[in-house]
Structure 1
Amino acid sequence: MDPIRHLTASTFLFTRFGTSWRMCVIEHPRQGGHLAPRGHVREAQGERPQNAAVRAALEESGYLPRLLPAPLPEGYPHPGVPGPWWTVDIPVAPDGRVDALHVHTDHVFVGVVPLPYEPQGPSELPVRWVDPADLEVLDAPSESKVLGAHLFDVIGAAARQSAPAGPDGELEAELLRRMELDQEVRLTLPASRTPKSLKRWQQVDRDNRVWLEQLLSERGWPGISEVGERAAAAVWLIAQHSDAAPDFQVSCRDLLAEAVLAGEADPRHGALLQDRVRVAQDRPQVFGTQLRTDEEGELAPAPIWDPEQVDRRRLEVGLEPLAEYLEACRRTVGA
Protein backbone atom coordinates (compact mmCIF):
# COMPACT_ATOMS: atom_id res chain seq x y z
CA MET A 1 0.00 0.00 0.00
CA ASP A 2 1.39 3.37 -1.01
CA PRO A 3 2.03 5.79 1.86
CA ILE A 4 0.01 8.94 2.28
CA ARG A 5 1.83 11.54 0.25
CA HIS A 6 1.73 15.34 0.50
CA LEU A 7 3.42 17.78 -1.86
CA THR A 8 5.61 20.37 -0.14
CA ALA A 9 8.01 23.06 -1.32
CA SER A 10 11.10 24.34 0.49
CA THR A 11 13.44 27.19 -0.35
CA PHE A 12 17.13 27.32 0.47
CA LEU A 13 17.44 31.07 0.67
CA PHE A 14 20.80 32.86 0.33
CA THR A 15 22.09 36.42 0.54
CA ARG A 16 25.38 38.27 0.78
CA PHE A 17 26.40 40.12 3.89
CA GLY A 18 29.18 42.09 2.25
CA THR A 19 31.26 39.48 0.43
CA SER A 20 30.13 36.51 2.55
CA TRP A 21 27.23 34.27 1.60
CA ARG A 22 24.77 33.17 4.28
CA MET A 23 21.76 30.89 4.25
CA CYS A 24 18.39 31.56 5.88
CA VAL A 25 16.99 29.08 8.38
CA ILE A 26 13.87 29.30 10.51
CA GLU A 27 13.39 27.83 13.95
CA HIS A 28 10.52 25.35 13.66
CA PRO A 29 8.25 25.33 16.70
CA ARG A 30 6.84 21.82 16.20
CA GLN A 31 9.68 19.87 14.61
CA GLY A 32 12.38 21.61 16.64
CA GLY A 33 15.74 22.75 15.31
CA HIS A 34 16.37 24.84 12.21
CA LEU A 35 15.02 24.25 8.72
CA ALA A 36 14.86 25.98 5.37
CA PRO A 37 11.46 27.67 4.94
CA ARG A 38 8.96 25.04 3.80
CA GLY A 39 5.24 24.73 3.26
CA HIS A 40 2.57 22.43 1.90
CA VAL A 41 1.49 22.95 -1.70
CA ARG A 42 -2.17 23.95 -1.71
CA GLU A 43 -3.13 21.42 -4.36
CA ALA A 44 -6.89 21.93 -3.89
CA GLN A 45 -6.42 25.58 -4.83
CA GLY A 46 -4.33 24.77 -7.89
CA GLU A 47 -1.14 26.13 -6.35
CA ARG A 48 2.08 25.19 -8.12
CA PRO A 49 5.19 24.15 -6.15
CA GLN A 50 7.16 27.29 -7.13
CA ASN A 51 4.32 29.51 -5.90
CA ALA A 52 4.18 27.53 -2.66
CA ALA A 53 7.95 27.94 -2.24
CA VAL A 54 7.74 31.72 -2.57
CA ARG A 55 4.67 31.96 -0.34
CA ALA A 56 6.15 29.80 2.42
CA ALA A 57 9.45 31.70 2.34
CA LEU A 58 7.64 35.02 2.64
CA GLU A 59 5.32 33.83 5.42
CA GLU A 60 7.94 32.07 7.53
CA SER A 61 10.97 34.33 7.00
CA GLY A 62 9.53 37.65 5.83
CA TYR A 63 11.66 37.55 2.66
CA LEU A 64 10.42 37.38 -0.92
CA PRO A 65 12.99 35.30 -2.80
CA ARG A 66 14.11 35.42 -6.41
CA LEU A 67 14.08 31.75 -7.36
CA LEU A 68 17.07 30.53 -9.35
CA PRO A 69 17.17 28.05 -12.23
CA ALA A 70 19.12 24.88 -11.58
CA PRO A 71 22.62 25.01 -13.15
CA LEU A 72 22.87 23.75 -16.71
CA PRO A 73 25.96 22.21 -18.36
CA GLU A 74 28.43 24.73 -19.75
CA GLY A 75 27.67 25.48 -23.38
CA TYR A 76 23.95 24.70 -23.15
CA PRO A 77 22.40 27.27 -25.52
CA HIS A 78 19.10 28.09 -23.80
CA PRO A 79 18.40 30.00 -20.55
CA GLY A 80 17.25 28.08 -17.52
CA VAL A 81 13.86 28.67 -15.92
CA PRO A 82 13.46 28.92 -12.14
CA GLY A 83 12.20 25.61 -10.83
CA PRO A 84 12.96 22.93 -8.26
CA TRP A 85 16.59 21.84 -8.12
CA TRP A 86 15.63 18.52 -6.58
CA THR A 87 12.48 16.59 -5.72
CA VAL A 88 12.86 14.27 -2.73
CA ASP A 89 10.70 12.05 -0.56
CA ILE A 90 10.99 12.81 3.16
CA PRO A 91 9.42 10.39 5.70
CA VAL A 92 7.35 12.32 8.24
CA ALA A 93 6.05 11.28 11.66
CA PRO A 94 2.38 11.77 12.53
CA ASP A 95 1.54 15.45 12.82
CA GLY A 96 -1.39 17.83 12.98
CA ARG A 97 -2.40 16.97 9.41
CA VAL A 98 -1.97 13.18 9.37
CA ASP A 99 -2.07 10.86 12.38
CA ALA A 100 0.12 8.23 10.71
CA LEU A 101 3.55 7.96 9.16
CA HIS A 102 3.47 9.67 5.76
CA VAL A 103 5.71 11.15 3.08
CA HIS A 104 6.40 14.70 1.98
CA THR A 105 7.37 14.85 -1.67
CA ASP A 106 9.41 18.00 -1.30
CA HIS A 107 10.25 20.28 -4.20
CA VAL A 108 13.54 21.92 -3.25
CA PHE A 109 14.05 25.42 -4.63
CA VAL A 110 17.01 27.76 -4.31
CA GLY A 111 16.51 31.51 -4.06
CA VAL A 112 18.36 34.73 -3.28
CA VAL A 113 17.52 37.90 -1.37
CA PRO A 114 19.43 40.99 -2.58
CA LEU A 115 18.72 43.16 0.50
CA PRO A 116 18.92 41.18 3.75
CA TYR A 117 18.07 44.24 5.86
CA GLU A 118 14.90 44.93 3.86
CA PRO A 119 12.43 42.09 4.58
CA GLN A 120 9.19 42.40 2.68
CA GLY A 121 6.99 41.41 5.62
CA PRO A 122 6.92 40.09 9.18
CA SER A 123 8.28 36.60 9.82
CA GLU A 124 6.05 33.98 11.44
CA LEU A 125 9.08 32.20 12.91
CA PRO A 126 12.49 33.19 14.31
CA VAL A 127 14.94 33.77 11.45
CA ARG A 128 18.69 33.22 11.41
CA TRP A 129 21.25 33.74 8.64
CA VAL A 130 24.07 31.18 8.91
CA ASP A 131 27.47 30.81 7.25
CA PRO A 132 29.13 27.46 6.40
CA ALA A 133 30.76 27.19 9.84
CA ASP A 134 27.41 27.81 11.56
CA LEU A 135 25.77 25.20 9.35
CA GLU A 136 28.15 22.47 10.48
CA VAL A 137 27.08 22.76 14.13
CA LEU A 138 23.47 23.82 13.53
CA ASP A 139 20.63 21.86 15.11
CA ALA A 140 19.21 20.87 11.73
CA PRO A 141 18.31 17.68 9.83
CA SER A 142 21.24 16.00 8.09
CA GLU A 143 19.61 16.47 4.66
CA SER A 144 19.48 20.24 5.22
CA LYS A 145 23.16 20.29 6.12
CA VAL A 146 24.16 18.21 3.08
CA LEU A 147 22.20 20.36 0.62
CA GLY A 148 23.20 23.59 2.35
CA ALA A 149 26.92 22.75 2.26
CA HIS A 150 26.68 21.90 -1.44
CA LEU A 151 24.80 25.10 -2.21
CA PHE A 152 27.38 27.27 -0.46
CA ASP A 153 29.86 25.94 -3.05
CA VAL A 154 27.73 26.87 -6.06
CA ILE A 155 25.55 29.81 -5.01
CA GLY A 156 27.96 32.50 -6.25
CA ALA A 157 27.78 31.28 -9.84
CA ALA A 158 24.09 30.38 -9.64
CA ALA A 159 23.07 33.84 -8.43
CA ARG A 160 24.27 35.56 -11.60
CA GLN A 161 21.31 36.44 -13.80
CA SER A 162 23.51 36.43 -16.89
CA ALA A 163 27.11 35.87 -17.91
CA PRO A 164 29.45 38.77 -17.07
CA ALA A 165 29.70 41.28 -19.88
CA GLY A 166 32.99 41.85 -21.63
CA PRO A 167 34.95 45.09 -21.21
CA ASP A 168 33.40 48.22 -22.72
CA GLY A 169 36.06 50.93 -22.89
CA GLU A 170 33.75 53.51 -24.42
CA LEU A 171 31.19 53.20 -21.63
CA GLU A 172 33.95 53.19 -19.03
CA ALA A 173 35.33 56.48 -20.37
CA GLU A 174 31.90 58.12 -20.41
CA LEU A 175 31.20 57.07 -16.83
CA LEU A 176 34.55 58.44 -15.66
CA ARG A 177 33.87 61.71 -17.47
CA ARG A 178 30.51 62.06 -15.76
CA MET A 179 32.01 61.19 -12.36
CA GLU A 180 34.57 63.98 -12.82
CA LEU A 181 31.77 66.45 -13.51
CA ASP A 182 29.88 65.21 -10.45
CA GLN A 183 32.89 65.80 -8.22
CA GLU A 184 33.89 69.08 -9.83
CA VAL A 185 30.60 70.79 -8.98
CA ARG A 186 30.63 69.40 -5.44
CA LEU A 187 34.21 70.25 -4.52
CA THR A 188 33.71 73.98 -4.94
CA LEU A 189 34.34 75.57 -1.55
CA PRO A 190 31.08 76.75 0.10
CA ALA A 191 32.38 80.34 0.25
CA SER A 192 32.92 80.29 -3.53
CA ARG A 193 29.48 78.99 -4.47
CA THR A 194 27.23 81.35 -6.41
CA PRO A 195 23.70 81.01 -7.77
CA LYS A 196 25.27 80.24 -11.14
CA SER A 197 27.49 77.46 -9.76
CA LEU A 198 24.59 75.94 -7.81
CA LYS A 199 22.46 75.97 -10.96
CA ARG A 200 25.25 74.17 -12.82
CA TRP A 201 25.43 71.62 -9.98
CA GLN A 202 21.71 70.89 -10.40
CA GLN A 203 22.10 70.65 -14.17
CA VAL A 204 25.00 68.18 -13.93
CA ASP A 205 23.02 65.97 -11.56
CA ARG A 206 19.97 66.09 -13.83
CA ASP A 207 21.95 65.33 -16.99
CA ASN A 208 23.77 62.45 -15.32
CA ARG A 209 20.53 61.02 -13.96
CA VAL A 210 18.66 61.20 -17.27
CA TRP A 211 21.64 59.60 -19.03
CA LEU A 212 21.82 56.80 -16.44
CA GLU A 213 18.07 56.13 -16.65
CA GLN A 214 18.42 55.54 -20.38
CA LEU A 215 21.50 53.38 -19.94
CA LEU A 216 19.83 51.15 -17.33
CA SER A 217 16.68 50.74 -19.39
CA GLU A 218 18.72 49.67 -22.42
CA ARG A 219 21.37 47.37 -20.92
CA GLY A 220 21.03 47.03 -17.17
CA TRP A 221 23.49 47.87 -14.41
CA PRO A 222 27.10 48.02 -15.67
CA GLY A 223 29.28 45.75 -13.54
CA ILE A 224 32.96 45.68 -12.67
CA SER A 225 33.75 43.12 -15.36
CA GLU A 226 32.28 45.48 -17.96
CA VAL A 227 33.60 48.90 -16.97
CA GLY A 228 36.19 48.34 -14.22
CA GLU A 229 36.08 49.29 -10.55
CA ARG A 230 36.39 53.09 -10.93
CA ALA A 231 33.65 53.38 -13.54
CA ALA A 232 31.45 50.96 -11.58
CA ALA A 233 31.85 53.40 -8.69
CA ALA A 234 30.71 56.16 -11.04
CA VAL A 235 27.44 54.32 -11.72
CA TRP A 236 26.79 54.17 -7.99
CA LEU A 237 27.76 57.83 -7.52
CA ILE A 238 25.27 59.07 -10.11
CA ALA A 239 22.53 56.99 -8.46
CA GLN A 240 23.61 58.24 -5.01
CA HIS A 241 23.17 61.82 -6.18
CA SER A 242 19.77 61.25 -7.85
CA ASP A 243 17.83 62.52 -4.83
CA ALA A 244 15.56 64.57 -7.08
CA ALA A 245 14.11 61.33 -8.48
CA PRO A 246 13.38 59.12 -5.44
CA ASP A 247 11.60 56.36 -7.38
CA PHE A 248 14.55 56.07 -9.74
CA GLN A 249 16.92 56.02 -6.78
CA VAL A 250 14.99 53.11 -5.25
CA SER A 251 15.20 51.19 -8.52
CA CYS A 252 18.96 51.85 -8.59
CA ARG A 253 19.26 50.52 -5.04
CA ASP A 254 17.61 47.27 -6.16
CA LEU A 255 19.72 46.93 -9.30
CA LEU A 256 22.90 47.66 -7.37
CA ALA A 257 21.95 45.06 -4.76
CA GLU A 258 21.63 42.45 -7.52
CA ALA A 259 25.04 43.49 -8.87
CA VAL A 260 26.53 43.03 -5.39
CA LEU A 261 24.99 39.53 -5.26
CA ALA A 262 26.65 38.73 -8.58
CA GLY A 263 30.04 40.02 -7.39
CA GLU A 264 29.83 42.85 -9.92
CA ALA A 265 29.64 45.80 -7.50
CA ASP A 266 31.26 46.97 -4.28
CA PRO A 267 29.19 46.08 -1.17
CA ARG A 268 30.15 49.45 0.32
CA HIS A 269 28.32 51.21 -2.50
CA GLY A 270 25.24 49.08 -1.89
CA ALA A 271 25.32 50.04 1.80
CA LEU A 272 25.68 53.76 1.04
CA LEU A 273 22.80 53.79 -1.43
CA GLN A 274 20.58 51.72 0.84
CA ASP A 275 21.14 54.22 3.66
CA ARG A 276 20.51 57.14 1.30
CA VAL A 277 17.15 55.71 0.26
CA ARG A 278 16.08 54.88 3.82
CA VAL A 279 16.91 58.36 5.11
CA ALA A 280 14.99 59.92 2.19
CA GLN A 281 12.03 57.74 3.19
CA ASP A 282 12.35 58.97 6.80
CA ARG A 283 13.40 55.49 7.97
CA PRO A 284 16.37 54.64 10.22
CA GLN A 285 19.49 53.88 8.20
CA VAL A 286 21.31 50.54 8.50
CA PHE A 287 25.01 51.42 8.19
CA GLY A 288 25.24 54.96 9.58
CA THR A 289 26.67 56.48 6.40
CA GLN A 290 24.29 59.45 6.09
CA LEU A 291 25.22 62.44 8.26
CA ARG A 292 23.40 65.55 9.40
CA THR A 293 24.30 68.62 11.44
CA ASP A 294 23.10 68.18 15.01
CA GLU A 295 21.90 70.84 17.47
CA GLU A 296 25.49 71.68 18.40
CA GLY A 297 26.40 72.22 14.74
CA GLU A 298 28.45 68.97 14.57
CA LEU A 299 28.13 66.26 11.95
CA ALA A 300 26.24 63.27 13.35
CA PRO A 301 24.53 60.24 11.80
CA ALA A 302 20.88 60.36 10.90
CA PRO A 303 18.89 57.89 13.08
CA ILE A 304 20.26 54.33 12.90
CA TRP A 305 18.36 51.07 13.20
CA ASP A 306 19.80 48.85 15.98
CA PRO A 307 22.74 51.22 16.62
CA GLU A 308 24.50 48.80 18.98
CA GLN A 309 25.22 46.51 16.02
CA VAL A 310 26.07 49.16 13.44
CA ASP A 311 29.84 48.54 13.53
CA ARG A 312 29.28 44.82 12.94
CA ARG A 313 27.18 45.63 9.88
CA ARG A 314 29.75 48.18 8.66
CA LEU A 315 32.52 45.59 9.01
CA GLU A 316 30.49 43.11 6.92
CA VAL A 317 30.45 45.45 3.93
CA GLY A 318 34.00 46.76 4.32
CA LEU A 319 33.34 50.11 6.02
CA GLU A 320 35.47 51.46 8.86
CA PRO A 321 33.98 51.78 12.38
CA LEU A 322 31.44 54.55 12.71
CA ALA A 323 33.59 56.61 15.11
CA GLU A 324 36.48 56.65 12.63
CA TYR A 325 34.13 57.58 9.79
CA LEU A 326 32.66 60.45 11.79
CA GLU A 327 36.08 61.75 12.76
CA ALA A 328 37.30 61.72 9.16
CA CYS A 329 34.16 63.50 7.89
CA ARG A 330 34.40 66.15 10.60
CA ARG A 331 38.03 66.79 9.76
CA THR A 332 37.13 67.18 6.08
CA VAL A 333 34.35 69.64 6.81
CA GLY A 334 36.59 71.60 9.15
CA ALA A 335 39.50 71.75 6.68
Structure 2
Amino acid sequence: MSLKKSVNLLLTTVMVFAFVLAGCSKGDNESKGSGSPAKNKTITLAYVAWDSEIASTNVVREVLESKLGYKVNMLQVDAGPMYLGISDGSADAMVAAWLPSTHGENYYEPNKDKFEDLGMNLDGTKVGLAVPTYMDISSIEDLKGDVGQSVNYTITGIEPGAGIMTATAKVIEQYELKDWKLLESSSAAMAKVLQDAYAKEEPIIVTGWTPHWMFAKMDLKYLDDPKGVYGGDEQIHTLVRLGLKDDQPEAYKFLDQFEWTPADMEAVMVDINGGMSEEEASRKWVENNADKVSKWIDGI
Protein backbone atom coordinates (compact mmCIF):
# COMPACT_ATOMS: atom_id res chain seq x y z
CA MET A 1 0.00 0.00 0.00
CA SER A 2 1.37 3.45 -0.94
CA LEU A 3 2.09 6.08 1.70
CA LYS A 4 -0.66 8.30 0.28
CA LYS A 5 -3.27 5.53 0.56
CA SER A 6 -2.17 4.76 4.11
CA VAL A 7 -2.58 8.39 5.15
CA ASN A 8 -6.04 8.60 3.53
CA LEU A 9 -7.15 5.40 5.30
CA LEU A 10 -5.91 6.74 8.63
CA LEU A 11 -7.74 10.04 8.15
CA THR A 12 -10.95 8.24 7.23
CA THR A 13 -10.71 6.06 10.36
CA VAL A 14 -10.14 9.10 12.58
CA MET A 15 -13.16 10.92 11.06
CA VAL A 16 -15.46 7.94 11.56
CA PHE A 17 -14.32 7.56 15.15
CA ALA A 18 -14.92 11.30 15.73
CA PHE A 19 -18.46 11.03 14.38
CA VAL A 20 -19.18 8.06 16.65
CA LEU A 21 -17.92 9.97 19.67
CA ALA A 22 -20.00 13.00 18.72
CA GLY A 23 -23.11 10.87 18.38
CA CYS A 24 -22.56 9.25 21.77
CA SER A 25 -21.93 12.62 23.39
CA LYS A 26 -25.10 14.04 21.88
CA GLY A 27 -27.16 11.06 23.06
CA ASP A 28 -25.78 11.37 26.59
CA ASN A 29 -26.52 15.09 26.70
CA GLU A 30 -30.06 14.60 25.46
CA SER A 31 -30.75 11.97 28.11
CA LYS A 32 -29.29 14.03 30.96
CA GLY A 33 -30.46 17.54 30.05
CA SER A 34 -33.43 18.92 31.94
CA GLY A 35 -35.20 19.80 28.69
CA SER A 36 -35.02 16.31 27.16
CA PRO A 37 -35.96 13.46 29.50
CA ALA A 38 -34.19 10.12 29.18
CA LYS A 39 -36.20 7.34 27.60
CA ASN A 40 -36.72 5.55 30.91
CA LYS A 41 -37.54 8.70 32.87
CA THR A 42 -41.30 8.60 32.41
CA ILE A 43 -43.75 8.72 35.29
CA THR A 44 -47.55 8.72 35.62
CA LEU A 45 -49.22 10.84 38.30
CA ALA A 46 -52.81 10.03 39.28
CA TYR A 47 -55.05 12.74 40.72
CA VAL A 48 -58.66 13.75 41.24
CA ALA A 49 -60.10 16.93 39.72
CA TRP A 50 -60.33 18.81 43.01
CA ASP A 51 -58.83 22.29 42.96
CA SER A 52 -56.40 21.34 45.73
CA GLU A 53 -55.13 18.22 43.95
CA ILE A 54 -54.93 19.95 40.58
CA ALA A 55 -52.61 22.47 42.25
CA SER A 56 -50.40 19.97 44.07
CA THR A 57 -50.11 17.47 41.23
CA ASN A 58 -49.20 20.16 38.70
CA VAL A 59 -46.49 21.55 40.97
CA VAL A 60 -45.06 18.03 41.31
CA ARG A 61 -45.24 17.62 37.53
CA GLU A 62 -43.43 20.92 36.98
CA VAL A 63 -40.56 19.93 39.29
CA LEU A 64 -40.24 16.47 37.74
CA GLU A 65 -40.11 17.93 34.23
CA SER A 66 -38.13 21.15 34.65
CA LYS A 67 -35.73 20.09 37.41
CA LEU A 68 -35.33 16.33 37.02
CA GLY A 69 -35.83 15.77 33.29
CA TYR A 70 -38.85 13.48 33.49
CA LYS A 71 -41.69 13.05 31.03
CA VAL A 72 -44.87 13.15 33.12
CA ASN A 73 -48.21 11.64 32.19
CA MET A 74 -51.19 13.09 34.08
CA LEU A 75 -53.99 10.62 34.86
CA GLN A 76 -57.18 12.34 36.06
CA VAL A 77 -59.59 9.87 37.69
CA ASP A 78 -62.09 9.59 40.54
CA ALA A 79 -60.90 8.79 44.06
CA GLY A 80 -61.50 5.03 43.89
CA PRO A 81 -59.67 4.47 40.58
CA MET A 82 -56.86 6.72 41.82
CA TYR A 83 -56.11 4.31 44.66
CA LEU A 84 -56.56 1.27 42.44
CA GLY A 85 -54.14 2.76 39.90
CA ILE A 86 -51.39 3.08 42.49
CA SER A 87 -52.22 -0.38 43.84
CA ASP A 88 -52.03 -2.20 40.49
CA GLY A 89 -49.12 -0.17 39.11
CA SER A 90 -51.00 1.51 36.25
CA ALA A 91 -50.03 4.81 37.92
CA ASP A 92 -46.73 5.52 39.65
CA ALA A 93 -47.64 8.06 42.32
CA MET A 94 -50.22 10.40 43.78
CA VAL A 95 -50.00 13.29 46.24
CA ALA A 96 -53.71 13.30 47.08
CA ALA A 97 -54.40 10.85 49.92
CA TRP A 98 -56.59 12.64 52.50
CA LEU A 99 -56.13 10.77 55.77
CA PRO A 100 -57.19 9.42 58.13
CA SER A 101 -60.93 10.08 57.69
CA THR A 102 -61.81 11.24 54.16
CA HIS A 103 -60.12 8.42 52.25
CA GLY A 104 -59.20 6.07 55.08
CA GLU A 105 -62.06 3.63 55.36
CA ASN A 106 -63.12 3.25 51.74
CA TYR A 107 -59.89 3.61 49.78
CA TYR A 108 -56.73 3.55 51.88
CA GLU A 109 -57.34 0.68 54.30
CA PRO A 110 -58.52 -1.90 51.71
CA ASN A 111 -55.40 -1.27 49.59
CA LYS A 112 -52.70 -0.29 52.11
CA ASP A 113 -50.59 -3.41 51.49
CA LYS A 114 -50.51 -2.74 47.74
CA PHE A 115 -48.68 0.61 47.75
CA GLU A 116 -46.06 2.52 49.74
CA ASP A 117 -47.07 5.47 51.90
CA LEU A 118 -44.31 8.11 51.89
CA GLY A 119 -46.03 10.09 54.61
CA MET A 120 -47.47 13.56 54.90
CA ASN A 121 -46.94 16.20 52.23
CA LEU A 122 -49.36 18.74 53.75
CA ASP A 123 -50.69 19.18 57.27
CA GLY A 124 -53.79 21.02 58.43
CA THR A 125 -56.59 20.00 56.08
CA LYS A 126 -60.25 19.96 57.04
CA VAL A 127 -63.55 18.84 55.49
CA GLY A 128 -67.15 19.53 56.42
CA LEU A 129 -70.25 21.52 55.53
CA ALA A 130 -69.45 25.12 54.64
CA VAL A 131 -71.75 28.15 54.48
CA PRO A 132 -71.28 31.89 53.96
CA THR A 133 -70.71 33.76 57.23
CA TYR A 134 -73.83 35.85 56.61
CA MET A 135 -75.97 32.76 57.32
CA ASP A 136 -77.20 32.68 60.90
CA ILE A 137 -76.38 29.04 61.64
CA SER A 138 -73.34 27.52 63.31
CA SER A 139 -73.90 23.77 63.62
CA ILE A 140 -75.12 20.83 61.56
CA GLU A 141 -77.78 20.47 64.25
CA ASP A 142 -79.22 23.80 63.06
CA LEU A 143 -80.22 22.19 59.77
CA LYS A 144 -83.22 20.71 61.59
CA GLY A 145 -84.65 24.23 61.87
CA ASP A 146 -86.12 26.63 59.34
CA VAL A 147 -82.98 26.92 57.23
CA GLY A 148 -83.97 23.86 55.18
CA GLN A 149 -86.70 25.66 53.29
CA SER A 150 -84.36 28.49 52.27
CA VAL A 151 -82.02 26.07 50.47
CA ASN A 152 -84.67 23.60 49.30
CA TYR A 153 -83.26 21.04 51.78
CA THR A 154 -80.24 20.63 49.50
CA ILE A 155 -76.54 20.27 50.24
CA THR A 156 -74.54 20.95 47.08
CA GLY A 157 -71.82 18.34 46.75
CA ILE A 158 -69.11 17.29 44.35
CA GLU A 159 -68.26 14.11 42.42
CA PRO A 160 -70.02 10.91 43.53
CA GLY A 161 -67.60 8.54 45.21
CA ALA A 162 -65.49 11.28 46.77
CA GLY A 163 -64.71 10.68 50.44
CA ILE A 164 -66.45 13.87 51.51
CA MET A 165 -69.61 12.72 49.73
CA THR A 166 -69.59 9.41 51.59
CA ALA A 167 -69.10 11.27 54.88
CA THR A 168 -71.90 13.73 54.08
CA ALA A 169 -74.30 10.87 53.37
CA LYS A 170 -73.47 9.60 56.88
CA VAL A 171 -74.07 13.10 58.25
CA ILE A 172 -77.58 13.16 56.80
CA GLU A 173 -78.25 9.76 58.35
CA GLN A 174 -76.71 10.30 61.78
CA TYR A 175 -78.16 13.76 62.28
CA GLU A 176 -81.55 12.46 61.09
CA LEU A 177 -81.91 15.09 58.36
CA LYS A 178 -84.74 13.12 56.79
CA ASP A 179 -85.91 15.76 54.32
CA TRP A 180 -82.43 16.65 53.09
CA LYS A 181 -80.72 15.52 49.89
CA LEU A 182 -77.10 15.58 48.78
CA LEU A 183 -76.75 16.94 45.26
CA GLU A 184 -74.00 15.27 43.22
CA SER A 185 -72.10 17.53 40.84
CA SER A 186 -68.38 18.30 40.50
CA SER A 187 -65.84 20.39 42.35
CA ALA A 188 -66.02 23.10 39.71
CA ALA A 189 -69.83 23.09 39.58
CA MET A 190 -70.09 23.27 43.38
CA ALA A 191 -67.75 26.26 43.47
CA LYS A 192 -69.72 28.03 40.71
CA VAL A 193 -73.04 27.53 42.50
CA LEU A 194 -71.46 28.81 45.71
CA GLN A 195 -70.03 31.90 43.99
CA ASP A 196 -73.37 32.73 42.37
CA ALA A 197 -75.26 32.43 45.66
CA TYR A 198 -72.58 34.38 47.55
CA ALA A 199 -72.72 37.27 45.04
CA LYS A 200 -76.46 37.60 45.76
CA GLU A 201 -76.08 36.90 49.50
CA GLU A 202 -78.40 33.93 49.15
CA PRO A 203 -78.30 30.96 51.55
CA ILE A 204 -76.34 27.92 50.39
CA ILE A 205 -74.73 24.87 51.98
CA VAL A 206 -71.87 23.03 50.28
CA THR A 207 -69.41 20.25 50.95
CA GLY A 208 -66.22 22.15 51.71
CA TRP A 209 -62.58 21.45 52.38
CA THR A 210 -59.41 23.37 53.06
CA PRO A 211 -57.03 24.24 51.56
CA HIS A 212 -59.31 25.65 48.85
CA TRP A 213 -59.31 28.97 47.03
CA MET A 214 -62.98 29.58 47.89
CA PHE A 215 -62.02 30.30 51.51
CA ALA A 216 -59.55 32.93 50.28
CA LYS A 217 -62.10 34.52 47.95
CA MET A 218 -65.21 34.42 50.17
CA ASP A 219 -66.07 34.72 53.85
CA LEU A 220 -67.09 31.17 54.69
CA LYS A 221 -67.34 29.07 57.82
CA TYR A 222 -67.65 25.40 58.67
CA LEU A 223 -70.71 24.18 60.52
CA ASP A 224 -69.81 22.53 63.83
CA ASP A 225 -69.99 18.74 63.74
CA PRO A 226 -70.77 17.72 67.35
CA LYS A 227 -71.11 14.05 66.40
CA GLY A 228 -67.65 14.08 64.79
CA VAL A 229 -68.78 12.41 61.58
CA TYR A 230 -66.25 14.29 59.44
CA GLY A 231 -63.40 13.62 61.87
CA GLY A 232 -60.84 16.23 62.89
CA ASP A 233 -58.02 17.94 61.04
CA GLU A 234 -56.37 15.73 58.46
CA GLN A 235 -53.20 15.36 56.46
CA ILE A 236 -52.53 14.77 52.78
CA HIS A 237 -50.12 11.90 52.09
CA THR A 238 -48.00 10.87 49.11
CA LEU A 239 -48.51 7.30 47.90
CA VAL A 240 -46.38 5.46 45.32
CA ARG A 241 -46.60 2.07 43.67
CA LEU A 242 -44.53 -0.76 45.01
CA GLY A 243 -41.15 -0.91 43.26
CA LEU A 244 -40.92 2.76 42.33
CA LYS A 245 -37.86 3.22 44.56
CA ASP A 246 -35.92 0.69 42.48
CA ASP A 247 -37.31 1.71 39.07
CA GLN A 248 -37.19 5.51 39.44
CA PRO A 249 -34.94 6.40 42.40
CA GLU A 250 -34.74 10.12 41.54
CA ALA A 251 -38.50 10.54 41.31
CA TYR A 252 -38.95 8.46 44.45
CA LYS A 253 -36.54 10.61 46.47
CA PHE A 254 -38.20 13.84 45.32
CA LEU A 255 -41.68 12.52 46.14
CA ASP A 256 -40.43 11.38 49.54
CA GLN A 257 -39.07 14.88 50.24
CA PHE A 258 -42.06 16.80 48.82
CA GLU A 259 -43.83 18.77 51.55
CA TRP A 260 -45.52 22.17 51.57
CA THR A 261 -48.12 24.24 53.43
CA PRO A 262 -51.80 25.11 52.96
CA ALA A 263 -50.71 28.67 52.08
CA ASP A 264 -48.44 27.31 49.32
CA MET A 265 -51.27 25.26 47.86
CA GLU A 266 -53.77 28.11 48.07
CA ALA A 267 -51.41 30.43 46.17
CA VAL A 268 -51.45 28.06 43.20
CA MET A 269 -55.22 27.56 43.43
CA VAL A 270 -55.90 31.31 43.52
CA ASP A 271 -53.78 31.85 40.38
CA ILE A 272 -55.63 29.08 38.52
CA ASN A 273 -58.98 30.44 39.63
CA GLY A 274 -57.86 33.89 38.49
CA GLY A 275 -57.38 32.70 34.93
CA MET A 276 -53.89 31.19 34.75
CA SER A 277 -53.51 27.78 33.19
CA GLU A 278 -52.52 24.95 35.50
CA GLU A 279 -49.10 24.87 33.83
CA GLU A 280 -48.54 28.62 34.19
CA ALA A 281 -49.59 28.71 37.84
CA SER A 282 -47.39 25.76 38.81
CA ARG A 283 -44.41 27.16 36.88
CA LYS A 284 -44.84 30.54 38.60
CA TRP A 285 -44.92 28.94 42.04
CA VAL A 286 -41.85 26.78 41.37
CA GLU A 287 -39.89 29.78 40.06
CA ASN A 288 -40.91 31.92 43.06
CA ASN A 289 -40.07 29.24 45.64
CA ALA A 290 -36.63 28.09 44.56
CA ASP A 291 -35.39 27.54 48.12
CA LYS A 292 -38.24 25.20 48.96
CA VAL A 293 -37.93 23.33 45.67
CA SER A 294 -34.17 22.89 46.19
CA LYS A 295 -34.90 21.07 49.45
CA TRP A 296 -37.30 18.73 47.66
CA ILE A 297 -34.62 17.68 45.17
CA ASP A 298 -31.64 17.80 47.52
CA GLY A 299 -29.34 14.84 47.05
CA ILE A 300 -30.69 13.89 43.61
TM-score (norm 1): 0.26
Structure with more contact order per residue of length (Cα contacts < 8 Å, sep ≥ 6): 2
TM-score (norm 2): 0.28
